[in-house]
Amino acid sequence: MANDELKQAWKIPEPTLRRLPWYLAFLKLMKGKGETFVSSTQIAKEINVDPSQVAKDLSFVNISGKTRVGYDICALVDVLEDFLGFTAQHKAFLFGVGSLGAALLQDTGLNQYGLEIVAGFDVRKELAGTVVNGIPVFHLDDFPAKQKEFGATIGVITVPVDKAQEVTEQIIAGGIKALWNFTPFRIRVPEHIVVQNTSMYAHLAVMFNRLNSINH
């Protein structure tokens, strides 16, 4: 418990980390329109968040606004992009070049946000040696060798549900530190491994349910 609290103290809250990219998207829009300064009240109004929340969220970032004029937009965009890790390149491997996996290899947007997928892996022999959107696909057996070559820190998991845990363990054994799990399976990992779940199907379920609620 005490250990958990200690952790929380230096950790930026996840809701803050999830809101900061919203602020960033809005700030980039304003920058594009030639605006130079923005107040936390303006951001709050646009994003539909409490102004005190915006100020609190931005207090985690190393920038301060000026009384009356607010934040320098250009500086805030730079600081936020850097803070959120979007300016660094994080090397990643993608596991499972199926429908969703291949789709993610196609998405060049991830690259602009700091995720550089350098290779894909699959157990299907016919996929080994193919290239998707310039990214080479290898057989899963080649992962340890390729990891020595590339030194990826992130693993994107898009394998079938029944392989999720097995592949997770292989990935971690290979030295990958963070897992971006797109499967609806709740993977189990040692404490020092970072897991980010993005279950698109869970989001679909929430949307369907809300949609049915308004129709009844």
Annotated binding site for NAD(+): 96-101
Q: Which one among 102, 127, 137, 159 touches its own copies, defined by CB under 8 A?
A: 102
Residues 7-26 that bind its own copies (CB under 8 A): 10-12, 14, 17-18, 20-22, 24-26
Long-range contacts formed by 202-207: CB under 8 A, 24+ apart: none
- Closest to its own copies by CB, 138 vs 185, is 185
CA 31 from chain center: how many Å? 24
**194: contact with its own copies by CB under 8 A:** yes
**123: contact with its own copies by CB under 8 A:** no
> Least distance in Å: CB of 24 to its own copies?
7
CA 56 from chain center: how many Å? 22
Residues 97/127, Cβ–Cβ less than 8 Å: yes
Strands in the chain per DSSP E: 37-38, 71-72, 90-95, 115-122, 131-132, 135-139, 154-157, 178-181, 194-197
Q: Give the per-residue SS3 of 48-87.
A: CCCHHHHHHHHHCCCCCCECCCEEEHHHHHHHHHHHCCCC
**62: contact with its own copies by CB under 8 A:** no
**150: contact with its own copies by CB under 8 A:** no
- Closest to its own copies by CB, 17 vs 118, is 17
Q: Which one among 8, 52, 59, 198 touches its own copies, defined by CB under 8 A?
A: 198
- Closest to its own copies by CB, 139 vs 163, is 163
Closest-CA residue to 122 (of 98, 100, 104): 98
Strands 71-72 and 115-122: unpaired
**209: contact with its own copies by CB under 8 A:** yes
- Residue 178 in 3-state DSSP? strand
- Closest to its own copies by CB, 66 vs 186, is 186
CA angle 88-16-82, nearest 5°? 20
Using the contact rule CB under 8 A, the part of the chain among 93-101, 116-124, 134-142, 144-152 near its own copies is 93-101
Strands 154-157 and 178-181: parallel
* Residues making up the binding site: 96-101
Q: Where do contacts with its own copies occur on this chain (CB under 8 A)?
A: 10-12, 14, 17-18, 20-22, 24-26, 28-29, 32, 46-48, 84-86, 88, 90, 98-100, 102-104, 106-110, 113-115, 153-154, 161-162, 177-178, 180, 183-186, 188, 192, 194, 196, 198-215
